[in-house]
Structure 1
Amino acid sequence: MAQKAVKTLAAANTRRLNQTLVATLVIHLFFWLFRALLFRSSFTRKSLLLYLVLASPQLLINFLFEKQSRPVNAADGSIKRAGEDLEAKGLTEYLWDITYWTYGNLLLVTFLGDWAWIFWGMIPLYSVWLAWTTYTGMRGGGYQDAAGVPQPEAGTSKRQAKLEKRGGQKVQYR
């Protein structure tokens, strides 16, 4: 049972990276086969340039995930390095969003044509919105709970707020 967490992380990373690799190959090959066989008129230099510019970030992200998160095994079969956690919050989560959005956008472009690449522009808009909400959340003094209800300052609990409302805490001496 030694290194159970490392083994679990390595197995989860391997499974997720294999699924991502298969999905990437299937979607990109489907895009190229469908465009080459059915929409030959739209198979132009402009189409190739748009594909290279807008699909390359997703391909680079997949390469980054492979490089950082693919487990490395030692010669004796033990796990040398489990890799970075692919379920991590923050930047990793955002990179997965880009990957999935590019998959969906490739399917849209496959069926609707090159003009559908405009939907890929929602990724930078989402980044700006995320940065703005983070900035405004840090700037404001209080915070809101999940329902959007403003909460008191983080330093005061409900009990402290009640005590302050009643005039402070009374000290009793015996």
Structure 2
Amino acid sequence: MAQKAAKTLAFRNTARLNQTLYATITIHLLFWLLRALLFRSSFTRKSLAFYLLFSAPQLFIQFQFERISRPTYNADGVVKRSGEDLEAKGLTEYMWDVLYWTYGCVILAAVLGDWAWWAWGIIPLYSVYLAYTTYAGMRGGYTDAAGVPQSTSKRQQKLEKRGGQKVQYR
């Protein structure tokens, strides 16, 4: 069982990347089919421009995930590189949010029309919110999740008042 963690990560990455690739192909094909067949009158240059503009970040993120997280194997089938973890916190998590939100916007635009692309504007607002909460958390110093400094118990307050806890040697 050499490299068990690398094999597990490679398997998870491959499964998730394949699932994401199939979802991307399905959603974008659904958009093109619905717009070309059912809503032909609303399929204009403006509609195409909106599609290209708002789908480009999702397609770029998809390409980046493929590039940095797709595992590579040696000729004998041994994992050469398992790729970056797709379940990492921080930027990767935010990129998944953008990817999924764009899926929803593409589906809404396919069914409801071009005005549904305005829902994509929530992503920059969400970015501003995340940046502000991160800044406020860093500025607040050591606080709990609610932003309120943690209070000490009555016992701890009494010990601090007496000069701290004394160590007794026997």
Q: Normalized against structure 2, the TM-score is what?
A: 0.91
Unaligned segments of structure 1, at least 5 residues: none
Equivalent residue, structure 2, for 1:109? 109
Q: Which amino acid counterpart does residue 116 of structure 1 have in structure 2?
A: A
1:106-145 counterparts in 2 under 5 A? 106-145=106-145
Equivalent residue, structure 1, for 2:81? 81
Q: Which amino acid counterpart does residue 87 of structure 1 have in structure 2?
A: E
Match of 1:152 among 107, 125, 150: 150
Residues in 2 aligned to 1:158 and 1:83: alpha-carbon distance in whole angstroms: 50
Count, aligned residues:
170
Match of 2:165 among 142, 149, 169: 169
- Deviation sequence 1:103-146 (CA, Å, 0-9, x none): 0111111111101101000000000000001101111134133x
Equivalent residue, structure 2, for 1:37? 37
Equivalent residue, structure 1, for 2:11? 11
Alignment root-mean-square deviation, CA = 2.2
Rate the CA distance shift 1:151–1:159 in 2: closer, same or farther, 3 A.
farther
Q: Which amino acid counterpart does residue 65 of structure 2 have in structure 1?
A: F
Unaligned segments of structure 2, at least 5 residues: none
Match of 1:144, SS state, is: coil
Equivalent residue, structure 1, for 2:27? 27
Rate the CA distance shift 1:158–1:78 in 2: closer, same or farther, 3 A.
farther
Match of 2:141, SS state, is: coil
Q: Normalized against structure 1, the TM-score is what?
A: 0.89
Rate the CA distance shift 1:161–1:131 in 2: closer, same or farther, 3 A.
farther
Equivalent residue, structure 2, for 1:60? 60
Residues in 1 aligned to 2:130 and 2:138: alpha-carbon distance in whole angstroms: 12
Instruction: Check conservation: 2:137, 2:147, Cα contact below 8 A.
Output: no
Residues in 1 aligned to 2:154 and 2:2: alpha-carbon distance in whole angstroms: 44
Deviation at 1:70, TM superposition (A): 0.5
Residues in 2 aligned to 1:162 and 1:71: alpha-carbon distance in whole angstroms: 57
